[in-house]
Amino acid sequence: MTPQSPRTLFDKLWQAHVVHEEPETPTLLYIDLHLIHEVTSPQAFEGLRRRGLRVRRPERTVATVDHSIPTKRGPIQDALAAGQISTLERNAREFGIALYGTDHPQRGIVHIIGPELGLTQPGMTIVCGDSHTSTHGAFGALAFGIGTSEVEHVFASQCLLQQKPHSCEVRIEGKLSPGVGAKDVILALLARIGIGGGTGSVFEYTGPVVRSFSMEERMTLCNMSIEGGARAGMIAPDDTTYAYLAGREFAPAAFDGAVKKWGTYRTDDGARYDTTITLDVTDLGPMVTFGTNPGMGAQITAAVPDPSAIGDASQRASLQKALEYMGLRPGSRLSGHPIDVVFIGSCTNARINDLRQAAMVMRGKKVAPGVRALVVPGSYAVKRQAEAEGLDRVFVEAGAEWREPGCSMCIAMNGDEVPAGKYAVSTSNRNFEGRQGKGSRTFLSSPFTAAASAVTGRLTDVRSML
């Protein structure tokens, strides 16, 4: 390809980060920002020690604790979690890495604080030992999750060897109805393409709906790209992006110059994607999942699908098994299904706009008897903002629990769990078997739907309450 030929956003970012290329070998890519947390980093630090290596660019690495940290203040009861957190503290000290530790006022979920601090910027390559690193693509960055071996590679070299993925345009057309948002859009996309539909590719979300989204909504969209199997999801930066970043702690000092450069991070007219998917969202209603992967979703007004209507034996068996696990009867209505737990949180939906939406629905209402509702802000910054707006009081007065930031019940590593056999409506990203606790049954949804369901005790179409 000549430099003059039109390029996609992904091509531009990829090419700008090539350190070395040779035939029959993955490309050596430079990594601008490396985010780490307590769960997937200890073995990588240990690898460095074993080889006598340093972290090459400690100032390009930022650490926080989020996965196994309790969301209640006080000493950590779980010795293993405490050990993991103290190990990260020790490693950060030893290798000279900035740590947003347990009591740091800017601590939060790694994919929430990166953007909040202005660390996440257009044009960057960003990696983290966490599959939801795709979140940062909302800023026009190439951001993807890596394993612990690769965490060690980035520590040692600030580079990664990568095979170049395909580019896939995901064009969102139409106009969203009130009560329907980014989470519903991504769940609808996943229902359409399945959880392997994006394997081997990088999504670029385009179209008028995406342009109208706030940064928070864009992050929700990009966050769940990995649930479609795509390594990364990205959105070209625009004025919404620049307005979000302006004034952030780590935003470039020469901001106007940066904006000028960031403006070039867009797909050129005439550039070709390897594939394009178009999704029209005009008739889209609130989405919920009914199965045990994020691709098993439907509009809340729909009925639970019937496995016997599926031709492919393997898919039929999957659906059958999923419905058995979920305890759902084919043909029964999703809306109205009783629930036990509501979780509003996670790197998908624990930003201030998510909490505002939930509070809008719950204001002046009560969580239904027998339902436990947990609201976990994504960061201390989100928590402070929510408290300044009085959202915490809305939740507490409704009977919900207002917690300290962390991944919490999304991954159930910190003691926040859905009991076996119980139904949770969750704003998180994965409804895998046991994901929210052994035997937990998850309905993924938007914050609107989760809040509406908390109030009624049943899966509820929020449009009846707005």
Partner 1 sequence: MNGNVTGRGGEAFRTVTSRVAVFPQENVDTDQIIPARFLKIIDKAGVGTHLFEDLRRAPDGSLKSDFPLNMKENEGAAILLAGRNFGCGSSREHAPWALVGAGFRAVISTSFADIFKNNALKNGLLPVVVDAATWSALAGVASTGGQVRVDLRGQDVQWQGGKVSFGIDSFARACLLNGTDELGYILGHENEIAEYERRQERGVQS
Distance CA 420, CA 440 (A): 5
Tell me, by CB under 8 A, how many residues bind partner 1: 71
CA distances for 412 relative to 293, 341, 428, 444, angstroms? 17, 13, 11, 15
Distance CA 329, CA 339 (A): 15
Interface with partner 1, residue 11, by CB under 8 A: no
> Which of 154, 386 has the CB closer to partner 1?
154
> Which of 39, 288 has the CB closer to partner 1?
39
> Which of 419, 457 has the CB closer to partner 1?
419
Considering the complex, what minimum distance in angstroms separates the CB of residue 157 from partner 1? Answer: 5
Please list, in sequence order, all residues whose beta carbon lies within 8 angstroms of the beta carbon of residue 285, skipping any fewer than 6 positions away. Answer: 177, 180, 184, 299, 300, 301, 461, 463
Considering the complex, what minimum distance in angstroms separates the CB of residue 85 from partner 1? Answer: 10
Per CB under 8 A, which of residues 139..158 are in contact with partner 1? Answer: 145-150, 152-153, 156-158
Residue of the chain from 58, 101, 104, 161 that contacts partner 1 (CB under 8 A): 161
Distance CA 401, CA 422 (A): 18
Report residue 409: phi and psi, to 5°: -75, -5
Interface with partner 1, residue 78, by CB under 8 A: yes
Interface with partner 1, residue 413, by CB under 8 A: yes
Residue of the chain from 224, 368, 411, 444 that contacts partner 1 (CB under 8 A): 411
Report residue 151: phi and psi, to 5°: -60, -45
Tell me which stretch binds partner 1 (CB under 8 A): 112-120, 225-233, 244-252, 277-285: 225-233
> Which residue, chain included where needed, has tokens 């229902």?
191
Residue of the chain from 1, 2, 4, 51 that contacts partner 1 (CB under 8 A): 51
User: x/- binding map, residues 52-71, to partner 1, per CB under 8 A?
Assistant: ----xx---------xx---
Instruction: Fill in the amino acid letter for 78.
Output: D
Per CB under 8 A, which of residues 435..454 are in contact with partner 1? Answer: 435, 438-439
Q: Which two tokens stand for residue 155?
A: 């520590």
User: x/- binding map, residues 267-286, to partner 1, per CB under 8 A?
Assistant: --------------------
Tell me which stretch binds partner 1 (CB under 8 A): 79-87, 173-181, 342-350, 441-449: 79-87
Residue of the chain from 101, 174, 200, 419 that contacts partner 1 (CB under 8 A): 200
Q: Give me the DSSP letters along 238-299.
A: -HHHHHHHTT-TTS-SSHHHHHHHHTT-SPPTT---SEEEEEE-TT---EEE-SSSTTSEEE
Distance CA 374, CA 112 (A): 18
3-state DSSP call for residue 99? Answer: strand
CA 396 to chain centre: 26
Considering the complex, what minimum distance in angstroms separates the CB of residue 34 from partner 1? Answer: 14
Tell me which stretch binds partner 1 (CB under 8 A): 209-217, 223-231, 391-399, 458-466: 223-231
Interface with partner 1, residue 84, by CB under 8 A: yes
> Which of 174, 325 has the CB closer to partner 1?
325
Look up residue 168 and give its DSSP letter.
Answer: E
Tell me which stretch binds partner 1 (CB under 8 A): 180-188, 276-284, 372-380, 412-420: 412-420
* 127 within 8 A of 143, measured Cβ to Cβ: yes
> Which of 26, 331 has the CB closer to partner 1?
26
Q: Which two tokens stand for residue 144?
A: 């993807």
